[in-house]
Amino acid sequence: MLHLNKLMKQIFHKIAAVSAKAWLILFVVTAVICVVALRHNNQTMVKLRDQVYTVDKSAGDVNGALNKLRGYVFTHMNTSLSTGTTIKPPIQLKYTYQRLYDAEYNDLQAANQKIYNDGKNACPGPSNAYDPDRLACIENYAVNHGVSGANIRIPAGLYEFDFISPTWSPDLAGWTLLLSAIFFVAFAAKILLSQFKK
């Protein structure tokens, strides 16, 4: 406890030794650097997000681009990509999703066509004439062998992402934010100390 009191007195003496103007200048300089660094963090996030969209559109390495974006957002403040009050997540890999959907659709169409062809082969009758009994046979064959037009189930949530940045990060923005807060407290303490001396 004695050491804490001695430390507090030393801190107050050091604050008192520096002028209020100097503390204010230090606060303003670090606050400006902090704002610039926060803006840079956000701009870098936007650039990485745009790279994800570009890679998604061109069928490139989406996982690599997403990992870069995720890593940056998780380690830098002012870079959040969170849903918040909006309905849709901020990152949607619509091209990747569409490619998977189209592939599933094409596979389903091919499977349906195969079942239809198998049904035509399995049902007796001339293939070039209209025969209601043969058509009913083909339809029953298709229904009994699993033909379907609406079995595409790709969860869209697997291709939608939101990332939340930390409240504080140990980068230029974080350290200058911390310093500006310290300098502002020192400035306020200096003003209060000078008021008490009067």
Q: Are residues 166 and 84 in the same domain?
A: yes
Predicted model pTM: 0.76
Distance between CA atoms of residues 192 and 186, nearest Å: 10
Contacts of 174 (CB under 8 A, 6+ apart): 77, 168
Range of the domain at 137: 100-157
Q: Could you tell me the two tokens for 144? A: 């009994």
Number of domains in the chain: 2
Q: Are residues 36 and 80 in the same domain?
A: yes
Q: What is the pLDDT of residues 110-140, one digit of tens each?
A: 888 888 888 888 887 776 667 788 888 888 8
CB-side exposure of 87: number of CA atoms within 13 Å? 0
pLDDT attached to residue 52: 95
Q: Are residues 82 and 172 in the same domain?
A: yes
Residue 49 within a domain: yes
